[in-house]
């Protein structure tokens, strides 16, 4: 979308590492590779979207068809950029994981009364004081369906471990989706996280969480303060094994010298670093 807006991925990336946000979204540095975990997650998401669209339109859908979608998505990523595998991972291993997770999910009872698949919506954002922010929120919901108790937002994750209950209860993403549904449908939705766990024995974990008005106001407050930080050019690394392992901006991060400045002939921000970033 052309209009400046917030998304959960933007907000979470800044909270996770403001310098990574700067590299990707402001300096727009090219990524030299794609982490294999990201490629797997994307291919699984596209396959599940195909599966749910066919359920929604009451078309037959075979496992072979879903697996074909998975392979097509994977090979498209391979054609676009180099894939970097972690130690112990390989192409064949990750393809087997993806197929196993998709089969395991399809073993479950399929969702009924599907309202939307990969549904995108733009809605206004408010802070906890009831003030509207200049930038709206854009949310893209993996799966939206209706149960007897009301609307359910279903978000899918691939992970190397099971999630703790607190991770769903504290997730900003759930607040963003509940807010979007409330604005779009004038209903309060429940959020279900379906985690496809990439352990030696694959598993499917479901976690449900709800939000209240205080949570939604906090979402607006967070977006507001992040916007102020960006305007003030507050970009710094958050160094941790979780953030840095597999980060495509590792090299320019190590070259970073703690400041940004305007491009000489343009109005864009430029990283001050010795040499050229990769």
pLDDT by residue for the chain (278 residues), tens only, comes to 578 999 999 999 999 999 999 999 999 999 999 999 999 999 999 999 999 999 999 999 999 999 999 999 999 999 999 999 988 889 999 999 999 999 999 999 999 999 999 999 999 999 999 999 999 999 999 999 999 999 999 999 999 999 999 999 999 999 999 999 999 999 999 999 999 999 889 999 999 999 999 999 999 999 999 999 999 999 999 999 888 888 999 999 999 988 765 444 434 444 443 333 33
Looking at the domain assignment, is residue 85 inside a domain?
yes
**203, 173: one domain:** yes
Range of the domain at 136: 1-25+112-273
pLDDT for the residue numbered 260: 61
Q: CA 200 to CA 191: how far, in whole Å?
A: 27
The number of distinct structural domains making up the chain is: 2
Of 46, 78, 110, which residue constitutes the final position of a domain? 110
pTM over 0.85: yes
**71, 117: one domain:** no
**152, 179: one domain:** yes
**14, 52: one domain:** no
Q: What are the beta bridge partners of residue 35?
A: 84
**15, 140: one domain:** yes
Rg of the chain, C-alpha, whole Å: 20
**82, 205: one domain:** no
**15, 92: one domain:** no
**103, 128: one domain:** no
**102, 229: one domain:** no
pLDDT for the residue numbered 178: 98
pLDDT for the residue numbered 1: 55
64: which residues sit within 8 A by CB, 6+ positions away?
A: none
241: which residues sit within 8 A by CB, 6+ positions away?
A: none
81 token code pair: 């950029």
User: To the nearest 10°, the Cα dihedral for 247, 242, 218, 205?
Assistant: 110
Looking at the domain assignment, is residue 278 inside a domain?
no
pLDDT for the residue numbered 276: 36
**118, 65: one domain:** no
Contact 198/159 with Cβ under 8 angstroms?
Answer: yes
Beta strands in the chain (DSSP E): 6-7, 34-35, 83-84, 114-123, 137-147, 150-159, 190-197, 203-209, 260-262, 269-271
Tokens 């807010």 locate to 179
Of 52, 87, 110, which residue constitutes the final position of a domain? 110
Q: CA 80 to CA 34: how far, in whole Å?
A: 9
Q: Are strands 269-271 and 260-262 parallel, antiparallel or unpaired?
A: antiparallel
Q: Which H or E element spans position 184?
A: helix 172-185
pLDDT for the residue numbered 261: 59
**57, 4: one domain:** no
């Amino acid at each position: 979308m052309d209009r400046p807006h917030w998304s959960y991925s933007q907000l979470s990336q800044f909270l996770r590492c403001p310098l990574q946000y700067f590299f990707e979204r402001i300096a727009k540095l090219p990524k030299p590779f794609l982490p294999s975990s990201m490629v797997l997650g994307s291919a699984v998401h596209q396959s599940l979207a195909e599966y749910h669209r066919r359920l929604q339109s009451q078309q037959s859908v075979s496992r072979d068809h879903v697996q074909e979608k998975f392979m097509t998505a994977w090979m498209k990523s391979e054609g676009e950029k180099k894939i970097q595998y972690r130690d112990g991972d390989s192409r064949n291993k990750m393809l087997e994981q993806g197929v196993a997770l998709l089969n395991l999910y399809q073993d479950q009872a399929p969702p009924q009364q599907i309202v939307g698949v990969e549904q995108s919506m733009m809605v206004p954002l408010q802070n906890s004081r009831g003030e509207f922010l200049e930038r709206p929120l854009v949310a893209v919901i993996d799966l939206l369906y209706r149960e007897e108790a009301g609307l359910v937002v279903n978000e899918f994750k691939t992970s190397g471990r099971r999630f703790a209950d607190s991770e769903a209860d504290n997730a900003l993403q759930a607040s963003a989706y509940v807010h979007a549904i409330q604005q779009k449908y004038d209903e309060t939705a429940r959020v279900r996280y379906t985690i496809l766990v990439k352990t030696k024995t694959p598993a499917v974990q479901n976690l449900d969480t709800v939000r209240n008005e205080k949570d939604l106001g906090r979402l607006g407050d967070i977006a507001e303060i992040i916007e102020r930080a960006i305007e003030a050019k507050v970009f710094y690394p958050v160094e941790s094994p979780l953030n840095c392992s597999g980060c495509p901006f590792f090299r320019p991060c190590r070259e970073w010298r703690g400041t940004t400045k305007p491009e000489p002939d343009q109005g864009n921000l430029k990283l001050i670093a010795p040499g050229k970033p990769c």
